[in-house]
Structure 1
């Protein structure tokens, strides 16, 4: 699966686009695969309680997606990390 990352996730992955092994499932499972492949992304996506940050935004093939939405293995997803500060 090809994942495009934004903001500080680029430093955590080493690039704007990364390939992650993913057999399909939910958006949340795709994010878990990203974290497994690139552990430095975890602080940008997961809160202290282990849940995905509510401000993380994901798109599948250019369309906004929720964590529980289905995501195929050949989808292209975009991940915008949690916003910090104020």
Structure 2
């Protein structure tokens, strides 16, 4: 599955488009696969307790998606990491 990553996630992945192979067809599965493939992405996505940062956004086929939403293999997925600063 191909993902588009934005912002500081690109420094963790090295590119805007990445491929991952999730174990389960959900948004949570996709994010887990992203962190497995690119461990440096974890700090951009989850907090110290392992919970998804509140400002992280994931879209599936252009619609905002929750962690337990389905994510078909042919979906257009974009990940917007937590942004810092102000």
TM-score (normalizing by structure 2):
0.92
List alignment gaps of at least 5 residues for structure 2. none
State the SS of the aligned residue for 1:82.
coil
Q: How does 1:1-80 map to 2 (within 5 A)?
A: 1-22=1-22, 24-80=24-80
Contact 1:24 1:72 in 2 (8 A): no
Shift of 1:64: 1.2
The structure 1 segments of at least 4 consecutive aligned residues displaced by more than 3 Å after TM superposition are none
Structure with the higher fraction of residues in strand conformation: 1
RMSD: 1.2
Aligned length: 86
CA distance in 1, matches of 2:59, 2:76: 8
Contact 1:45-1:82 at 8 Å conserved across structures: yes
1:10 Cα deviation from its structure 2 partner: 0.6
1:5-55 deviation line (CA, Å, top 9, x unaligned): 000101110100011112542111110000001111000001000111111
Q: Which runs of 5+ in 1 are unaligned?
A: none
Q: Counterpart of 1:84?
A: 84
